Structure 1
Amino acid sequence: MFDHIVFGVSDYAASRTFFLKALAPIGMAVVSEGAPGIELSADGKSSLCIRRAGEKSGHLHLAFVAESREQVQAFYYAALEAGGTDNGAPGLRPNYTGRYYAAFVIGPDGHNIEVVCHEPEA
């Protein structure tokens, strides 16, 4: 598990809106916000820090753990509603493992955002 991830975005307002809406279904919420940017966390132990950069950085693949397949689905639809682009609808990815249930969305700066559940179907 990571402690924190920090990355810059070219359009802070758009990215802030996108990440807040897209990651709300897995419990991510604002921990702090200030001049450099925003910090989000779901557990208070690890955080995602989005910084004002003014230019696009290299593309990232960020994968977040969901507790249920329903959270994966909720993330996907929230992320699309927030302006993300489909990069893989919710579903099993048997080429990874038999229980790898994930969805993928491209965010405002081209980052591939994934939410994955490793739990069996309820």
Structure 2
Amino acid sequence: MFDHLVFGVSDYEESKAFFLKALKPIGVTIASEGPLGVELCSPDSQSSLCIRRIEARTSHLHLAFTAQNRQQVDAFYRAALEAGAQDNGAPGLRPQYHANYYAAFVIGPDGHNVEMVCHHPEA
């Protein structure tokens, strides 16, 4: 739905390391990096996540990423916790959204609520 999402972070290196590790299960890597920050994306996606260096205090965001299967959701959750995130909802079905909404939530750097969601039934 979006082409790119840009947001500032208070600790650039910490946030870059966190998102690279947490989003590795869906193939996210560095597309480009420069003085303003870093652009992250998956090889099969035209959408990107851009992290910028800023001095001001950041606002909390809810960032939801699409997984192709439930195993990627599980892998994201483990990787995010290993990268220093706080649990905000272990992997599982969220039937209040729809019958196959399988997601995990963590609180990442700067207090952002980061979600990985799969909309497909169990394979």
TM-score, L = length of structure 1: 0.97
Contact 1:11 1:54 in 2 (8 A): no
Q: Distance in 1 between matches of 2:64 and 2:100?
A: 16
| Equivalent position amino acid for 1:20 in 2 | L
Q: 1:15-74 CA deviation, whole Å, 9 max, x = no partner?
A: 011000000101111000111010001134110000001333110000000000000000
SS in 1 for 2:75: helix
Question: 1:13-92, aligned counterparts within 5 Å?
Answer: 13-42=13-42, 43-92=44-93
Corresponding pairs, count: 122
Q: Does 1:2 align with 2:11?
A: no
Q: Distance in 1 between matches of 2:57 and 2:80?
A: 19
Provide runs of 4+ in structure 1 moved above 3 Å. none
Q: Distance in 1 between matches of 2:78 and 2:89?
A: 12
Q: Distance in 1 between matches of 2:114 and 2:10?
A: 16
Q: Which runs of 5+ in 1 are unaligned?
A: none
The CA RMSD measured in Å over matched residues stands at 0.8
Q: Which runs of 5+ in 2 are unaligned?
A: none
